[in-house]
Structures are given as C-alpha cells and as structure tokens.
Chains A and B, each alone.
Chain A
Amino acid sequence: MNAGQLIESYVSDVARLLPGAQRADVALELRTLLRDELADRAEVAGREPDEELARRLLAGFGRPAEVAARYRPAPALIDPADTRRFLRVAIIGMAVIWLLGLLDLLRRRPVNSLDGALYALREWWTVGAIPALWWPGVMFVCFAGAAWVNDAAPGSPESPSGQYGGDPLPEHGLVAGVRGQGHGQPVRDQAPASTFTTSYTTRWPACADSESRTGGPADRGSPWVISV
C-alpha cells in the first residue's frame, strides 16, 4: 500500500464514522490536509512521500474513531459530575437487592448441608442476582435523563445546575469568565476537554508510539504540541 492509498483508506475510515451530511465535505477537506501535511514532512525529510511517512502522519493524527469524534464530539450519556454518584447508587443498590434476596432465600429454604448451601447459592444466582441487574439499568436511564435535561436547559430552574442559581454557560460554550477587574463572570469549574491518545497498532502498526505525539513538523524545536 503506497502513501496515497494509505491516506485514502484512512479518510474513508474517518468518513464512514461521520453523519451522512458531513461525510463528503469532511473527507474532501481531510484528504487535502493530509496530503499537504505529508508533502511537508517529505520535504523536511528530503525524500518522496512514502508509506512510512504516511503511517507516522496518520498515527499522529489518531485513530479514525478518535478523529471522527473530534469532528463530531459525542455527548456524554451521564454527566461526568454524576458518574461517582451513579456508581455508588448502582453498586449499593445492587448489594442491597442481592443481600435481601439471599436472606429471603435462606428464610424460605434453610441450609443444612454443604450441598444444600451450593444449591441455594445457585438458585440465588439465577433467580435473584442476575435479574437484579435491572437496578443499574434503571439508574442509568435516570441519570442519563437528568444529564439530558441539564444539557437541554442549563441553568433553568428545573435543571440540576439551576437549583443552585448558577448562570447559564456562555452561548458559545468555549470559555468561562474571570472575576476581578471587571472581566466577566466568576470562573466556572469546567470538566477538562477530552484528551485523545494514540494507540494506532492495528492498521498502522509501525507507527505506534514512535513519534505519534511529537514528531510532526509543527513541533520542531518546540517542547510541546497541544492536543484536545
């Protein structure tokens, strides 16, 4: 596979993961950008664009799923702020259901021998423990619903953030302001932007971790490159 084919395959993989309306447009732009990036790297390396350079470039760009996600960030199903609470409620609830189920079973069928205990344990597992998985499922739906309501109307009195009188996020949703010297709103605690890491070892195995984060032309002579 030559460099051009590799880029074409990569662009196709990214485009396949995008909504139909966005697919052709992004693919056209991404193809040109990658070719220009590759040409630049080849010029710096003093050679023709080849497969190795293309693999390095694509490894630095990220897995197609990561790239597609950057073009169209997926919404969080559960508010990150509620994740620990969700886990706590789900796990404690499951534990309570399991314990009550076990006690009920032991009340109905007292255990008098090892065989009886194993039989009771098996019955508890199939009749009580596995069906109890409805609990984390219901909790997930509840938390996801809360996240959806909060996302649809941030700061509204009905939404969780609105209960505390919080200001709605800026319309552009990019930065919060700074208190002091008349420069806007108080700093709002925001979840950090997603960080994408590269582990490109399937279709582009030679590039895994080689120079994926720091080998691009833009970071020559620079100690860091920003990735969001």
Chain B
Amino acid sequence: MGNGRGGGVFDKLELELRRGVIVLAALSQLHTFRYGYELRQLLADQGMPIEEGTLYPLLRRLEAQGVLISEWRVDGGPPRRYYMLSDDGLHLRRRLSETWRGLNKTMDDLLDGEGRS
C-alpha cells in the first residue's frame, strides 16, 4: 500500500489517526504561557508538525471552551497573544492523558494479539 489508491487510503487513515491527537499534543506543551508560533515550532521540533492554519484557530477555540487562558504581551515587538492551560484545562489534560495511555495500552494489546483468536 505504498502508492496509488492504497497509498491514498493509507494517507487518509493515517491523517485521521494523527488528527485525533492534535488537541492533546497542544495541551501537553501549554503548562506555561506560549505564543502560538512558538508552540507550533516546539511541537514540530518534537516530531509533531501541525499546520499553522490548523493550530492557531484551535487555540482560539480551546480558549473559548475555557480550556486555555490567554494574555497579550508586548516584548519589544508587535503584541503577541500567549496561551496557557486554565484550571479546567489542567484537569482536562490529565483526563485526556489517562485516556490516551489507556487507548495506547488497549491498542498494543489488540495489535500484539492480532491473529491469535
């Protein structure tokens, strides 16, 4: 399934898998105030590149949901908006992390046991 139609299906399904972790990936790095561009670079450097057009609106939506708080800062340049986890966001991140680890373990078990049953 490296190319052609199979490759297209793989790409689509892989994207679906990765899409599911964007929020948790972003939350994982927002224990301290971070600027959107800085966050994107940080995630990309750690192997989690996210399109700019995806990440920045996501931060806004998370803030609107009360998961993040934000503030404007001017450090000798244009004003930049920094985001950080709210108390609710911290709780949410903890819960999502537990879910992620559980999901990981479940999938490991399923994949390790594939073909046995």
Residues of chain A at the chain B interface (Cβ within 8 Å): 26, 28-33, 35-37, 40, 60-62, 66-67, 70-71, 73, 172-175, 177-178, 180-184, 192-193, 195-196, 213, 216-219, 222, 224-228
Contact = CB atoms under 8 A, between A and B. Distances in A.
Nearest to B24: A175
Contacts of B103: 178, 183
A71 B44 contact: no
Interface of B: 11, 14-16, 18-20, 22-23, 36-37, 40-41, 43-44, 47-54, 56-58, 60-61, 65, 67, 78-81, 92, 96, 98-99, 102-103, 105-106
A59 to B, nearest CB: 10
Given A60-B52, A61-B53, A183-B98, A222 B47 contact: yes
Contacts of B99: 175, 177-178, 183-184
Contacts of A40: 37, 41
Instruction: Tell me the interface secondary structure of chain B in the complex.
Output: helix
Contacts of A175: 20, 23, 96, 99
B22 A224 contact: no
Given A37-B37, A175-B96, A226-B22, A29 B15 contact: no
Contacts, number: 119
B84 to A, nearest CB: 15
Nearest to B50: A226
Nearest to A190: B20
Contacts of A32: 78-81
29 contacts: A28-B79, A29-B80, A32-B78, A32-B79, A32-B80, A32-B81, A33-B52, A61-B53, A70-B58, A73-B61, A174-B23, A175-B96, A175-B99, A177-B99, A178-B102, A178-B106, A183-B102, A184-B102, A193-B19, A218-B50, A218-B52, A219-B49, A222-B44, A224-B18, A224-B49, A225-B49, A226-B54, A227-B53, A227-B54
